[in-house]
Chains A and B, each alone.
Chain A
Amino acid sequence: MREYLLKRIIISIFILWVVATLNFVIFQVVSPLSPEDTYAPLNLDIPPETLELIRELYGLNEPMHMRYIKYIKNMFTFDFGISFVSRKPVVVEMSQRLPATVLLLGSSMVATILIGTPIGILAASKRGSKKDIVTIGAGLFTWGVPVFFIQLLFMLFFSYYWMKIFGVPLFPVRGLYSIPPLANPLAFMADVAWHIGLPLITLVVGGFGAWALYTRNILLDALTQDYIITARAKGLSERTVLYRHAFRSTLPPIVTIIALSIPGIITGAMITEWIFTLPGIGRWYLDALTGSDYPVLQAVLFMFAILTILCNLIADLLYGILDPRIRVGVRR
């Protein structure tokens, strides 16, 4: 087990190094930053000494390999430098942006799983029924429907049309809390919940179908196993068979897929944050793109890669822990 873990960690570090190098190539070799180009459209009279100073400051005068070594060292020590736009250290700003993203994604994931799993179980237990077909339909639906369109529609109806008909919108259209923020902590929390309501609901609407379909398919696989036939033959109730026997065996793949889907959900949340103007990582990244804020872009891409690798690792480990067959195999 330890050997396996060690191997995985070494491979992970290797992958991280490749991703970091790729970042370097994209942002500093192929389309490198040059103060001359940056200031040229502004038509400012910047003296050459100042430009030289800027080059010095960002280490642009050093040879490429020195820059690369420094860059890799910085990346792996989480020293992402200072944002061009906000002039704050990237790490500090990232920690300010993280809560919104974590709040949105955490709550939407929990809600999606809590709604999707029972639907999937129901569909699997009544295979071929109308409920099952509806579940399959909902699952296929999520394949072909852009979540951002669902969000736009919900926004149109629950904010703008609601506003027109009732005078107040059911949900606000932008921000994480009212401005100025409410002083009372309880009221503030309620305010945040109100603001996050629409993004949350739309993410769940766009995601629960896929989740239900996934649960259904795993459970159906489990239900065709021999031990289920044995359990039924013993005369156990259908309920016991479903929950105590079949569903339990689906836990490892379900937990795995939760871990594996986190990175994808985070990138998907980028558009959500954009639409609802939530001050999260995704919105930050998009703003950094328009401002060519390279330190931020590099940092976010690197952190996304770390997150993906971590999630993969956790998925593997959890699978080993949850699945008795693998667990026993490891002990031997």
Chain B
Amino acid sequence: MERAALLRRLTWQTGTVIATTVETPRVKTIALAVPDWPGHRAGQHVDVRLTAPDGYQTQRSYSIASAPGDDYLSLTVERLDDGEVSPYLVDELRGGDELEFRGPVGGHFVWDEEFGGPLFLVGGGSGLVPLRSMLRHHRAIGSQVPVRVLCSARSLESLIYREELMKRAADDLIDVSITLTREAPSSWRGYRGRIDPALLSTAGWAAAEEPLTYVCGPTAFVETAAAGLVALGYDAGRIRTERFGGTGV
């Protein structure tokens, strides 16, 4: 492990909001121009810090949605109704605003080309965010590693990055499976219902292919997916997980 490369003091930086994109009624992507961004690895996150006029500050962590080589640093934020920070970021923040943050943080839930594959990316709700960074990175560097993606969302309307996922699925190296857990159009030809071992087996790789798997989403989703993969014979040491609160599966 290249510890020396990771040990860099993380200072607070200011990014300028270039654009906000509505992903779903509850989710927005915020593109930031950052003057001295040191770069990141696909899958890492940043800490955002908001400051009120009286000096009160609060922080939250958000996964980076953009690839290391993208022009802007993007964060995708799901609005939690009882949240303190996400309603501000989704409802209030707009182009031209400045946002304070530091990072990148995290060195485990990351994918570098040298890690190889085959890759299995399993995302529930806004758990797709760091996986999107990996998918974009995969394309940007022209990786030949085959990828299977399994997305779980409540409905088609609540699936983030819908168009981008559909486009990427046209790539021979990339398979995208989508399961809708609450409502699906009658014409829906994807999967329905919550993930289970049968769906993981269909959408993923055989254990014998020794896949490298990244699972991200709410706790219950990640527990189900990771336990299901272990039961299918996946090597627990090649399953990386990231869990967070929020809903949307």
User: A and B: partners?
Assistant: no
